[in-house]
């Protein structure tokens, strides 16, 4: 197979010196300040004068801000991350006007992600070492895996998470990503809570429930945090202790999903999933914690980009397909099937496991729609209407939960 260039980000942890940490902290603050100033300028221009200003206008404003006494501190950091945050704001407005995202919001010092992006003019990559602008020493990076041979990063992003860990992300164009050999296999995937995933083959992936395992430790840390005086050093320490538990949960969950999705993409040519409205389902306060812990949206995102890399196909079927109540043998639709019923028998004599039956129906619906020529590629609903898949599959009864 011939490789095709794919943009890949390789993230590594690094340990800055005191001077580097101070410089990066200043840069994060300046990036946040410029973003907020530009957002305010664009919002006021539209509100007061019905005028739209773009990246070029905000870039000119940045030059003017640097010349004022109030914002002279912006000259102390590299100009590249400041220009990049203006480009990010422009992209946010582009997505907003395209109805793909909400209106951009102001960045908070306490809640927003601390990150700065450097392009090639603002860093040096030599002999496996990365040196950023305004810094004399290279970053002390822990190379947990080597960069593929001959690859040079086009962009370097530095970030600090809530637990105080520092990361550097190297964006490279990797020509070595090749499509896997075509396989004559297809699988239907039903996402759930009792089991994270159930396949049409009958296999089930256990839900590890990482948040549930550390819930007691996290609750204890958060109670300790709530008792600390605001803006005190002890409160900052307690916040980091709670954050370390949360990032441990997130890291373990992400690692598990990477392993599952990589295995699926390697072994299967066509993967059929449900087009679940996870955001709407999170409004159910009885299940929101469990749904968030399962991280179905992250699973789908990983599955789609890996399938795109390696020449696989992901099909998303209508979320209203009565996959659990529909007999996968004879096609009979059961009138009612409460969530507590995990196994049931059809009038044709077939005995069904609820989740396996749903996965088989999801597979059949996806393959049938593909044969009929429906546009059911890896896409989500557009804001203006329902996907083409929804015109091919009958809707189920409104009173049944999408997870049934």
In angstroms, rounded to a whole number, what is the distance separating the alpha carbons of residues 133 and 123?
6
Q: Is residue 212 part of a domain?
A: no
Supply φ then ψ for residue 384, to 5 degrees: -90, -5
Determine whether 44 is an active site residue: no
Check whether residue 198 and residue 123 sit in a common domain: no
pTM metric for this prediction: 0.83
Q: At what angle do helices 55-66 and 79-97 cross, to 10 degrees?
A: 150
Check whether residue 115 and residue 202 sit in a common domain: no
- Among 211, 293, 318, 355, the active-site one is 355
Whether pLDDT at 379 is above 60:
no
The total number of structural domains that make up the chain: 2
pLDDT score of 174:
84
pLDDT score of 400:
39
SS3 333: strand
- Among 23, 117, 190, 275, the active-site one is 190
Determine whether 231 is an active site residue: no
Check whether residue 192 and residue 164 sit in a common domain: no
| Residue-range definition of the domain harbouring residue 254 | 186-206+242-391
Q: How many CA atoms lie within 13 A of 224 on its CB side?
A: 16
**Average pLDDT in the 282-304 region?**
92
In whole angstroms, what separates CA 262 from the centre of its chain? Answer: 16
In angstroms, rounded to a whole number, what is the distance separating the alpha carbons of residues 58 and 89?
10
Q: Is residue 231 part of a domain?
A: no
Contact 187, 200 (CB under 8 A): yes
Check whether residue 106 and residue 196 sit in a common domain: no
198: CATH: 3.30.420
Check whether residue 84 and residue 166 sit in a common domain: yes
Q: How high is the mean pLDDT of the chain?
A: 88
- Residue where a domain stops, chosen among 174, 196, 231: 174
Which carries the bigger pLDDT value, residue 93 or residue 351? 93
Q: Is residue 53 part of a domain?
A: yes
Determine whether 355 is an active site residue: yes
- Among 23, 211, 274, 304, the active-site one is 274
Check whether residue 194 and residue 149 sit in a common domain: no
Check whether residue 104 and residue 250 sit in a common domain: no
Q: Token pair of 128, please?
A: 């496996």
Check whether residue 255 and residue 296 sit in a common domain: yes
Q: Is residue 222 part of a domain?
A: no
SS3 394: coil
Q: Token pair of 145, please?
A: 């895996």
In angstroms, rounded to a whole number, what is the distance separating the alpha carbons of residues 170 and 154?
7
- Residue where a domain stops, chosen among 174, 198, 222: 174
pLDDT score of 391:
35
pLDDT score of 237:
94
pLDDT score of 59:
96
């Amino acid at each position: 197979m011939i490789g095709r260039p794919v943009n890949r980000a390789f993230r590594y942890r690094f340990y800055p010196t005191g001077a580097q940490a101070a410089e990066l902290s200043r840069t994060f603050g300046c990036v946040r300040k410029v973003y907020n100033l530009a957002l305010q300028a664009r919002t006021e221009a539209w509100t007061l004068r019905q005028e739209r200003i773009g990246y070029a206008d905000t870039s000119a404003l940045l030059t003017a801000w640097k010349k004022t006494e109030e914002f002279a501190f912006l000259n102390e950091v590299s100009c590249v991350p400041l220009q990049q945050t203006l480009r990010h704001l422009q992209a946010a407005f582009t997505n907003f006007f395209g109805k793909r995202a909400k209106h951009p919001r102001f960045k908070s010092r306490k809640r927003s992600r601390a990150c700065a992006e450097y392009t090639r003019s603002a860093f040096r990559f030599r002999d496996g070492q990365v040196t950023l602008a305004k810094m004399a020493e290279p970053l002390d990076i822990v190379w947990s895996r080597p960069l593929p041979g001959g690859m040079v990063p086009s962009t370097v992003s530095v970030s600090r998470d809530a637990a105080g860990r520092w990361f550097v992300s190297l964006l490279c164009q990797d020509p070595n990503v090749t499509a896997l050999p075509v396989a004559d296999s297809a699988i239907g995937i039903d996402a759930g809570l009792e089991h994270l995933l159930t396949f049409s083959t009958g296999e089930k992936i256990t839900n590890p429930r990482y948040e549930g395992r550390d819930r007691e430790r996290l609750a204890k840390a958060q109670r300790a945090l709530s008792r600390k005086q605001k803006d005190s050093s002890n409160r900052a320490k307690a916040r980091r202790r709670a954050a370390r538990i949360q990032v441990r949960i997130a890291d373990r969950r992400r690692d598990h999903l990477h392993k599952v999705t990589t295995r699926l993409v390697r072994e299967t040519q066509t993967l059929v999933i449900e087009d679940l409205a996870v955001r709407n389902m999170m409004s159910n306060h009885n299940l929101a914690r469990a749904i968030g812990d399962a991280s179905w949206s992250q699973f789908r995102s990983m599955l789609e980009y890996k399938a795109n890399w390696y020449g696989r196909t992901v099909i998303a079927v209508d979320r209203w397909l009565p996959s659990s109540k529909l007999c996968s043998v004879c096609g009979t639709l059961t009138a009612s099937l409460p969530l507590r019923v995990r196994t049931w028998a059809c009038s044709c004599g077939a005995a069904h496991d609820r989740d396996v039956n749903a996965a088989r129906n999801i597979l059949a619906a996806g393959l049938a729609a593909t044969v009929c020529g429906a546009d059911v590629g890896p896409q989500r609903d557009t804001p203006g209407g329902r996907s083409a898949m929804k015109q091919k599959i009958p809707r189920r009864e409104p009173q049944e939960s999408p997870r049934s």
